[in-house]
Amino acid sequence: MRSFVSDELKQNEEVVEQSAADGLDLGQPAAASKPSPAAAFDPEDLIDEIVAEDASEGASPIEEFVEESLDSAEVPPMEWYILKVQVNRENSICDALLRNIKRAGMERFFDQVLVPTEDVREFTKAGKPKVVKRKLYPGYIVVRMAINDDTWFLVRDTPGIGDFTGAAGKPVPLGAQEIERILAATLPPEAEEGQEENIKTAIKFKAGDRVRVKEGYFQNYEGEVSTIDERNGRVTVMINIFGRANPVQLDHWQVEKL
């Protein structure tokens, strides 16, 4: 009997020793497991997981999204239009319109605002030539813009501007040939070195006007203007000599209008 109890105790001791070696405490309830420091929450790990998940689903990078947003804000198609403005205020009204465009942040809807002009040569009282800008269409300016409710209101709300030219209250854009002719005169290409500038001479007469010669061989003769040569600043006047009308070519400053 004693041998059996001894053997039983010996077996129990061996079980306890083995359990202790395995890290088990049979006499105490199991303690709640504590999370390891490595398992703590890290926001950066969560962001990395989301980015990796989006990439696996074929999501576009942020850069592509920004480019797509810019593409969606393309500059709308623009046309040239004529605006009726107050006479002798064309330049100041152009400046006021440009200021309003900038103030409203609508630069991308407007391209150019111009007063149609051309370079002409005039002569002072002393006979010295000077080049000046002559308005092609007094009381009008041209603007290249995109028409919508906001731009239309901004233009109409600028002091000094009357309305767009058009039909039935609808702005009508200029044709290609019309605007090419205006731009060719207003923004002429720069003359190359050694090339003569093609500048007209401002002549205040027109064909059919009655004039008097104030200088030269035919001084005090009267006649009718036949042709005008603005390139060279000369006029041809039909003067009655010996009972017959004869063409006489004169510099424009040699005659005066009757």
Tell me the mean pLDDT in the region 193-201: 63
Domain boundaries, the chain: 79-186, 203-257
Q: How far apart are CA 201 and CA 134, in angstroms?
A: 11
Instruction: Determine contact, residues 248/223, Cβ cutoff 8 Å.
Output: yes
Cα angle: 98, vertex 116, 206; to 5 degrees: 155
CATH number of 203-257, picked from 3.90.1150.10, 2.40.50.1020, 2.30.30.30, 1.20.1260.10: 2.30.30.30
Instruction: Determine contact, residues 223/241, Cβ cutoff 8 Å.
Output: no
Residue 95 predicted with pLDDT over 60? yes
Strand pairing class (161-164; 117-123): unpaired
Give me the chain's average pLDDT, please: 76
pTM over 0.75? The answer is no
Q: How far apart are CA 119 and CA 233, in angstroms?
A: 14
Read out DSSP for the chain? -HHHHHHHHHHHHHHHHHHHHTT--TTSPPPPPPPPGGGS--HHHHHHHHHHHHHHTTPPPHHHHHHHHHHTTPPPP-EEEEEEE-TT-HHHHHHHHHHHHHHHT-GGGEEEEE--EEEEEEE-TTS-EEEEEEESSTTEEEEEE---HHHHHHHHTSTTEEEE-EETTEE-PPPHHHHHHHHHHHSPPPPPTTPPP--EE-----TT-EEEE-SSTTTT-EEEEEEEETTTTEEEEEEEETTEEEEEEEEGGGEEE-
Tell me the per-residue pLDDT of 246-256, one tens digit each, with 9 for 90 and over: 899 888 888 88
Q: How far apart are CA 16 and CA 18, in angstroms?
A: 5
Query: In degrees rounded to 5, what are phi and psi of residue 159?
Result: -60, 135
Tell me the per-residue pLDDT of 155-177, one tens digit each, with 9 for 90 and over: 999 999 998 988 666 889 999 99
Q: How far apart are CA 203 and CA 211, in angstroms?
A: 13
Tell me the per-residue pLDDT of 206-235, one tens digit each, with 9 for 90 and over: 888 999 998 888 888 999 999 888 777 788
Which residue in this structure is represented by tokens 């990078």? 61
Tell me the per-residue pLDDT of 35-85, one tens digit each, with 9 for 90 and over: 444 455 455 554 455 455 555 555 444 444 334 443 445 667 899 999 999
CATH number of 79-186, picked from 1.10.20.140, 3.40.1160.10, 3.30.70.940, 3.40.228.10: 3.30.70.940
pLDDT at 5: 42
Residue 12 predicted with pLDDT over 80? no
Residue 140 banded pLDDT, cuts 50, 70, 90: very high
